[in-house]
Structure 1
Amino acid sequence: MTHIPHISVELVPRTRQSIEAELQQLKALWPGITTVNVPDLDHLELGSCESCALPGAQGLTRIPHLRSSRVDVSDLGRLLRRLDELELTEVLVVRGDPPKDGRPVHDTSSVELIRALKAARPDLKVHAALDPYRQSLQDEQLYALKKIEAGAASLFTQPLFDTRLMEVFGEMLPGVPIYWGITNVSTERSKAYWVTRNRAVFPKSFEPTLEWCTAFAREAVQHAQETHSHLYFMPIRTELRDFLGAVIPPAGGGTDPEGQGESGAVNGVLADQSGRQASAFG
């Protein structure tokens, strides 16, 4: 039986209008994808929880990013009440970049916040971050396992550009559910940012074009099917139809750029699962 990867789409709330439009488009064109995850960034109009409260997000499984550096684990009450008010059942814990607006920062680590959330709300599904670039592979492996031990249900990776790195981490973390991050890096300037800021590693074959990125995304879908892992798509300043639509054809129109293959297959199983599965995360 073909493994159906669980799929989420990461939507950046640049403005209220832009994310509402993307949410409506996602629900209309990809009804088989019913999960979104939303980052929390200081310079944007909306926070992650505020974005999850938008009308367009209703009916979807919503996963706000929670920055551990913003949470005092000795006083979780306000955060937990907010999650309850929004009927949020899943969160993604990240350390997060240092704030630039003078807001308070705590020494809370991701592991500490994961453990505290699970202690207070055992039924809350907590996802954690996996960054293959920030430290040695062994150190990141140990850090990831600490998060799993603390109660994390799965790991969301920084976007990757090489299935060989997926294979390495899949072997280093056997049995751990992993959601491979897939994004588009379509200019030399964007590539330089990823190398300088995120220490990303690109294969020799990489080309900073949307075509290369969508072709790789189709490879990643096949890898996820073969390894029983999962995916989240993070379009960067690109229309959902142009990026996601080149991998999973939208409902009612669009074709696989290569005519058939994995993207067509995944579109079929997603269309099937949309009638049977309430959440894209199992």
Structure 2
Amino acid sequence: MSLARLSVELVPRSAEALLEEVHAVRTLMPAADTLNVPDLTRFPLRSWEAARLAQPVYGRVIPHIRAIDIAPDAPLPGADQPDLQEILIVHGDPPADLSRRTYPNSTESVIRRYRREAPHLRLYAAFDPYRRAPWQELEDVARKKEAGASGFFTQPVFDRRLFDLCREWMRDECVFWGLCPVIGPRSRSYWETTNHVVFPHDFSPTLDANIAFASAVLKELSDDAGHAYLMPVRVKLEQYLPPLMASLT
């Protein structure tokens, strides 16, 4: 068997840099059939604009939409893009620029609005096993499903035992399991401080160890025709993607 779908997450720093990476992914990771694009307010290029740029190369592009950025009387981002088929709705962190206006939307309220106004789009939401108690996160999953989410993207996982446990919790759902390299102590500290990740005692923040872990998870997901996404931040695509491509062949 093989993965049902494999996505690579690309940060839209600029139109030129994005297109360069889109073409690199096509060459280095031909098994990837999808791209997903976060919406980062420190960059001027928004995720749905980046999706429009990438779609001539990758037909399947999933932009992340921040719920707290959507004004009640403003058009829904991406709703009028004819080639867009899927979006991921996240709540969104408050912007560093406090002059930037946000709105008191919940993820569920924005999902419901997309269901009403853009029913042609498939909607994904987030699942984060590190954020709080598992029962609370699973209650959130149920609320997002009730609102209209048909699948989930996880926070990247770094522990095989936690991955197995989360797969059991989410066994009946369509889930893109996240994999992200953590290289060096500063990268590890970021994930621990910002995202509350608890790494296993034997975790090694080296490129080889991260590739070995991701390869093992991808193989397990391939055996079950699962979904995954790769988040190659702070590493060169040519160092990270080809070894993972080799593990899938």
**TM value normalised by structure 1:** 0.82
CA contact (8 A) 1:157 1:178 kept: yes
| 2:209 equivalent to 1:224 | no
> Which residue of the partner structure matches residue 140 of structure 2?
143
Q: Cα distance, 1:3 vs. partner?
A: 4.4
Q: Does 1:177 align with 2:174?
A: yes
Between the aligned partners of 2:130 and 2:170, the Cα distance in structure 1 is 16
Contact 1:163 1:223 in 2 (8 A): no
**CA offsets, 1:128-147, max 9 Å, x none?**
10111111011001101211
CA contact (8 A) 1:16 1:45 kept: no
Q: Distance in 2 between matches of 1:171 and 1:30?
A: 28
Task: Tell me the amino acid that sits aligned with residue 51 of structure 2.
Answer: C
CA contact (8 A) 2:127 2:155 kept: yes
Point out where structure 2 has 5 or more consecutive residues left out of the alignment: none
Structure 1: how far apart are the matches of 2:57 and 2:186?
Answer: 37
The within-5 A match list for 1:141-220 is 141-220=138-217
SS in 2 for 1:248: helix
Whether contact under 8 Å (1:52, 1:86) holds in the other structure is no
Q: Which residue identity is paired with 2:34? A: T
Q: Percent identity over the alignment?
A: 36
Contact 2:158 2:199 in 1 (8 A): yes
Cα separation, 1, equivalents of 2:69 and 2:95: 9
Pair 1:203–1:5, CA change in 2 (3 A): farther
Q: Once the two structures are superposed, what CA deviation does each residue of 1:29-83 show, in whole Å capped at 9, x if it has no partner?
A: 33332210101111123111121122x44241111100000113x435x225x43
Distance 1:103 1:79 in 2: 18
Answer yes or no: is the 8 Å Cα contact 2:23–2:57 preserved in 1: no
1:8 and 1:232 in contact (8 A); partners too:
yes
Stretch moving more, 4-13 or 226-235: 226-235
Q: Does the 8 Å contact 2:215/2:244 carry over to 1?
A: yes
Distance 1:4 1:24 in 2: 21
Q: Which amino acid aligns with 1:122?
A: P
Aligned to 2:47: 48
Partner SS, residue 247 of structure 1: helix
Say what the alpha-carbon RMSD is for the aligned residues.
1.7
Alignment correspondent of 1:25: 24
Once the 2 structures are TM-superposed, how far is the Cα of residue 122 of structure 1 from its aligned partner?
2.1
| Structural mapping, 1:1-282, within 5 Å | 2-54=1-53, 56-60=54-58, 61-72=60-71, 74-75=72-73, 78-79=75-76, 82-85=78-81, 87-101=83-97, 102-249=99-246, 263=247, 266-267=248-249
Distance 1:83 1:120 in 2: 8
The two structures have a TM-score, normalised by structure 2, of: 0.93
Q: Distance in 2 between matches of 1:163 and 1:48?
A: 31
